[in-house]
Amino acid sequence: MKGEDLIEALSGETKRKVVSLLTRKPLTLKEIAEILGITPPAALKHVRELESLGIIESYSVNRGPGRPRKYYRISRSLRLVITLTEDSLQIKSMEIEPSTILSTDIKERLEEIKKRLEVLGEVTSFSETITHSSCLIQDIDNLLQELEGVESHLIWIREEILRHLRRFSL
């Protein structure tokens, strides 16, 4: 899912409230409508939009005779990162999941980048500055991507712990 789509999906207050409710526990459409103080058709409109974007999903539970009850829950853990600087705006959405690539030399690589930045200040030609800058930016982007993976992994671990704790709060 693109970050812009996630921002758009959560731009409405009611949709944010629906998502917030579902982070606590799965709910039926009727429960969502009652908690938010809106009609079931209005709740259904918001739920369908969130479901079509893959933010939430439905499942059915058969509890004895009669029709199965349809519940809604968060479909996957997502992370939205917005970076706004003087020079750029970057919007990224990522799934929170365990990372398979974790390097142990992050601190060393960061120190190397800092040293190369100092050297960049001593470069006198424009073409060398462009070359060194491009390489530095690429290395920084690679390190940032790896750090995002580490952060995502840590968030995933935290969510797993919270999931285990929720078993005792139901």
Q: For residues 132 and 119, what is the distance between their CA atoms, to the nearest angstrom?
A: 9
Q: Report the run of H or E that residue 21 belongs to, with start and end.
A: helix 13-24
pLDDT for residue 99? 63
End-to-end CA distance of the chain: give it in Å, rounded: 31
Q: For residues 99 and 61, what is the distance between their CA atoms, to the nearest angstrom?
A: 33
Per-residue pLDDT of the chain (170 residues; tens, 9 = 90+): 788 888 988 999 999 999 999 998 999 999 999 999 999 999 999 999 999 989 999 999 998 888 899 999 999 888 888 888 888 898 888 787 776 566 668 888 888 999 999 998 888 899 999 999 999 999 998 888 888 878 888 888 888 898 788 778 65
The rounded Cα 144 to chain-centroid distance in angstroms is: 16
Q: For residues 109 and 128, what is the distance between their CA atoms, to the nearest angstrom?
A: 22
pLDDT for residue 93? 83
pLDDT for residue 14? 96
pLDDT for residue 9? 87
